[in-house]
Amino acid sequence: MSRPASGAAAGKIGGAGRRSRGVWLTALPLYLFTIVFVAGPLVYMLVLSFQTKAEGWGVEQVFTWNNYLRILDPVYLDTFLQSLKLAVSTTLLVVLIGYPFGYFMAKLSQAWKRRMMMLIMIPFWTSSLIRLYGWMILLQAKGAVYQTVRFLGFDIDPLKVLYTYPAVLIGMVYALLPFMMLSVYSSAEKMDWSLVEAARDLGASPMKAFLSVTLKLTMPGLLSGVILTFVPSMGLFFIADILGGNKIVLVGSLIQDQLTRGADWPFAAALAVVLMIMTTLLIFLYQKVTHSTELEGLF
Amino acid sequence: MRNRTKLPAVFLAAVMAVMYLPILMVVIYSFNASKLTAIWGGFSLDWYGKLFQDREIREALVNSLVVGGLSCLAAAVIGTLGALGNSRLRLRSKGAVEYIATLPIMIPEIILGMVFLAFFSLLDLPNGMLTLVIAHTAFCIPYIYMMVKARLVGMDHSLEEAARDLGATPVRTFFTVTLPLLLPAVASGCLLAFAMSFDDVIISIFVTGPKVTTLPVKIYTQMKTGVTPEINALCTVMLGVTVMVLLLSGLFRRLGRRTGQ
């Protein structure tokens, strides 16, 4: 996952002057597509969020702030807070499991690193639905976990985990953990371990050496993992839907509900704009803190 | 080695075991003869048989493959040329376009799904194959763009210059020198993008029509009603496809590393 050093090679991409027209043509499809199908819809979302919902189905072109004010309604504010709570708990758990994982993985031998990478990649690229489905089988009242415990001779009541908050939390942590593992690993792998040894030789305790050297050097990976966990966890409505059984309503589910059943597109757009602003702020903060434009470990 | 205790290895193994447990469950229970997931009724391939006779699922599978294929193709052309062009342009807009182009994988999927739904209805585009392909292309481009961009940085550009100095036209240089050099990156980007497209639920739900649905959307709607053994079988088949795509992707990457040095 190490990125090749740019330096000299990048400097050589000169000659832009003599073939700039051709170069323009190659970039044109990207510019067109990006402006029409990415920037366009996002701008439209912003416009939509200031419009008024028409009676029945549709949108009226009347300017209003009401959609944003409605978010402050206790019912919706509560949904935002609940989403935030879930996102924060998910992120914390992911850090607690994913950070040591990435750290230990970076200390493995070269061959084991490669094997571990492959092992992480398979669940990572496996349909998240399939993996959720596996949890449903496991957590069902008389599912696999219950059966196993019974088989081992313990007498327990049927599980009451599926369709509750813990089930959603398990699903979220499980779905997002690989991002943290990969980000931290990518950071720790590039780290110069001799610095830790130097700190130890100079008399730092293992704890001190970890906090002042290792943690600092793996910070970009940790932060990138936090973003890659936190941002999607605000919108993964289908995990809450399937493992939470409609009982846990998140911002994502709210947006989907407003779009389909509620038919209130402007309000859905306002919710999405707020979510988008939160996301962008986080990424902006990351870039300021780490002085990097790319998220660690994503590629 | 540096590790004095076995603790890290135990931790890594335990986490991995939990990662694979749900996947393993799905595979095991797909061979369960009993209709109830809670009971093991012996080994059976019945659900696979039922699966291949299900016309709706077959149609959804074909749709998913077509959507994934077309979006990857479009994204490969747009993303590769775009990364190439952007690396050579000296424009202030460069950074902005790159930022917007990679936004689709940075923002929560639900936002992307909702903006596409609203935008397509504004354009009066009926939800169906076309809207699915456009939406999937949008989030496939970043994967290919980033891969190609990383590859361009590490590439030896003197080969292109040599071709140009020897009188090759820019188009010919592209097809005989640049493209072959970029191909491993394009291919592995495509496979990742395809895996993402083949797995996508959230965005597809918003832009899918009543007549055209993709496999994940179909599974999602069935899953909401509970656990059925047929989905187990379907999931196992999809798992097989993913593992295959992944192995291929790794192969391309290794090939790329070899030719790149």
Q: What is the CATH number of the domain that holds A126?
A: 1.10.3720.10
Helix, coil or strand: residue A287: helix
For residue A4, is it within any domain?
no
Q: Chain A residue closest to B109 (CA)?
A: A235
B47: confidence class by pLDDT, cuts 50, 70, 90: confident
Residue A274 in domain: yes
Beta bridge partners of A59: A53
Q: How far apart are CA B224 and CA B196, in angstroms?
A: 22
How much is the average pLDDT of B231-238?
Answer: 83
Fold of B54-260: MetI-like fold (1.10.3720)
Any idea which residue has 């994913």 for tokens? A98
Domain count of chain A?
1
Instruction: Mean pLDDT check: name the lowest of A143-152, B25-34, B171-180.
Output: A143-152
Which chain A residues touch B15 with a CB distance below 8 Å?
97, 101, 177
pTM of the model: 0.81
Q: To which residue do tokens 């110069």 refer?
A: A192
Averaged pLDDT, A33-53: 90
Q: Please, which pLDDT band fits residue A151 given cuts at 50, 70 and 90? A: confident
Q: Which of B108, B122, B154 sits opposite A9 (nearest CB)?
A: B154
Rounded Cα distance, A94 and A172, in Å: 9
Q: Do A125 and B156 touch (CB under 8 A)?
A: no
CB interface of A with B, residues 65-84, below 8 Å? none
Residue A74 counted as domain residue:
no
Please give the C-alpha separations between residue A284 and each of A40, A161, A223, A224, B216, in angstroms, as whole numbers: 22, 37, 12, 12, 33
Tell whether the model's pLDDT for residue A206 goes beyond 50.
Answer: yes
pLDDT score for A98: 94
Q: Which residues pair with B43 in a beta bridge?
A: B32
A294 pLDDT exceeds 70? no
Full residue range of the structural domain in which residue A186 is found: 82-290
List the one residue out of A18, A155, A205, A176 whose CA is nearest residue A98.
Answer: A176
> Looking at residues B96-108, what average pLDDT do you find?
84
A25 inside domain: no
Which of A45, A126, A140 is closest, CB to CB, to B23? A126
Q: How many CB pairs under 8 A join A and B?
A: 273
Is residue A69 one of the residues assigned to a domain?
Answer: no
From its phi and psi, is residue B42 left (phi > 0), alpha (psi between -120 and 50) or beta?
left
Burial label for B196, CB within 10 Å (0-12, 13-18, 19+), is buried
Contact in structure between A39 and B115 (CB atoms under 8 Å): no
Q: Which residue of A has its CA nearest to B239?
A: A126
Contact B110 A237 (CB under 8 A): yes
Asked whether the beta carbons of A239 and A171 are under 8 A apart, the reply is: yes
Identity of the residue numbered A92: L
Q: Is the pLDDT of residue A45 over 50?
A: yes
* pLDDT classification of B226: cutoffs 50, 70, 90: low
The residues of chain B that CATH labels 1.10.3720.10 are: 54-260
Query: A52 pairs with which residues across the strands?
Result: A60
CA atoms within 13 A on the CB side of A47: 13
